[in-house]
Amino acid sequence: MKFFLTIYVCSVITQQCAIPPGYPKKQSGYYDCVRNGLSESYDILYQSQFTEEDIVNNRLYPRFSCEQVNTIDPSQGKDT
């Protein structure tokens, strides 16, 4: 089963979330999606353009979701 990983960077102050460029990303399974969601959301918040001041002043926090991708198998006409 395939999943789409979507990461959000949210602000408590503005009560809004933004999706970084490159998301959603297709994942090969739920386990990989959760593992990559944790890892990539950390990297986006702490190892990218955000400074400690940005994170504190805007009360930024990461969020992610793993949504199942329903695909149709053309040979069988069934969801996979």
Query: Average model confidence (pLDDT) for the chain?
Result: 92
Higher local confidence (pLDDT), 49 or 43: 43
In 1-80, the DSSP E strands lie at 2-11, 16-18, 25-27, 60-69, 72-73, 78-79
- Does the structure show a pLDDT above 90 at 12? yes
Task: Please report the pLDDT score of residue 69 as a whole number.
Answer: 92
The residue with tokens 């890892």 is: 39
CA pair distance 77, 75, nearest whole angstrom: 6
pLDDT band for position 75 (50/70/90)?
Answer: low
CA pair distance 57, 65, nearest whole angstrom: 25
- Does the structure show a pLDDT above 90 at 56? yes
- Does the structure show a pLDDT above 80 at 73? no
Task: Please report the pLDDT score of residue 70 as a whole number.
Answer: 85
Task: Please report the pLDDT score of residue 33 as a whole number.
Answer: 98
User: Which pair of tokens denotes residue 30?
Assistant: 């739920």
